[in-house]
Structure 1
Amino acid sequence: MDAHPLHPRLIKTPALRLESALALLRHSGYGEPEGLPGSEAWLQQLVDRLVDLSSRDPLTGLANRRYFELAVAREIDRVARSGESALLLVVDIDHFKRVNDNHGHAVGDQVIRAVSEALAVTVRPMDLVARVGGEEFAIMLPNCPAAFGPQVAERVRRRVARTQVPLQDNGALTVTVSVGGAFAQQWVRSSTELWMERADRQLYRAKAEGRDRVCLEASTVSSVTAEEKGMLYGTSQFQDLA
């Protein structure tokens, strides 16, 4: 009888760049795996932490842009099939360049972390908060009815405005954010880019109108683009998850 194809004696382990992987974890603030180095349990911890690192923003611990966009794509597919509503918010720290110029990048990092914590505690556990740029964040809220959208977005804005970042001179820095939002197109096969673009347009409007405010699309039913029409009867890229 032939040996099992995965029998340990038949596996030739390639040279692993363990030191590079460990250095990456240390640089990103992750602790090294516990246990005997090179053991199965130790290697599994190493793999798990590297996977987590690939989906997380190292400064805030929030989801990174890549992970967020994949999650948004799955949500678009779900909304297209179920007709349930979902809200996408984009959040930008107002006058963040002034923070770095006046107080330094270390304080700027503190502000980013403070805002990320404020966003995370304001939304539901089922919602996804991500840092998608330098001072830019995004929040995906599944099953968020249109009637609740303005309340949720305004709660996010107010929560950040109440946040204070301590300074070395015993003072404190307050920051504000501008928020733009758009609902997913129900029963429409859209794309991550189009949904985020619609939310971004509302963010630009909030900034143009004076910042520290919320702007959402006036209706959950907006015009369907030619690209979305082309995708309407297309094959779902996530249909195997249904």
Structure 2
Amino acid sequence: ACLFGNYAGDIMNVKMAIELAEEDGISVKTVIANDDVPSAPKSEREKRRGVAGEVLMWKVGGAKAALGGDLDAVIAAAQKAIDNTRSIGIGLTPCTIPAVGKPNFSIEPGKMEVGIGHHGEPGIEVTDLKTADEMAQMMLDVILPDLPFNTGDEVVVLISGLGATPVMELYILYNKVAELLEDKQISVYRPYVGDYFTSLEMMGVTLTVMKLDDELKTLIDLDADSMGFTQFKK
């Protein structure tokens, strides 16, 4: 199983890798993450980028494999995960790609870019810098209607810094996100706050919400021990 984001370079490289694997008699199936709501309208969801929702897709797919699921079962679980996941990012500063040596875009001081991509792809608007509480409301207003998420849902909330955002700031944002979800009677089953899906030294944040069913809860709960994601019994 190959689980990756919806980027032209990634797709090209995966296709070449699949061809090589198939020459060796290895069967490969894929799931392409497209959780980034601002990157394309809902009617063209297949064009959306994959962002921090990929982390939850990898967790669910990996858990299914760890439980002995075959290729089709792993693919089905990963696809269900990403289909029930929505994300939005906000950037406060650009990042510097080492091979380039300078920022590949700019954000004026006191401004923020809503819907920014992890490679610096433009967002949906540049606006005045907001407070964490205002950002939480703005981000949820974009992603909750898109699935949609409804009263009574249980969700995973993942808040990832983009590389240079203090963890304390991420928790301040999560506090308001949790409060707003509670107001809508949406229950946070598991929160994840930290640097899970970063963009070098960019300051900013991604908010990801995944709607759960019984299968996804079981797979999310499974222990994990890796460089990028570690958790133990709830």
Scaled by the length of structure 1, the TM-score of the pair is: 0.26
User: Greater Rg, structure 1 or structure 2?
Assistant: 1
- Larger relative helix fraction: 1
Task: Report the structure, 1 or 2, having the larger strand content.
Answer: 2
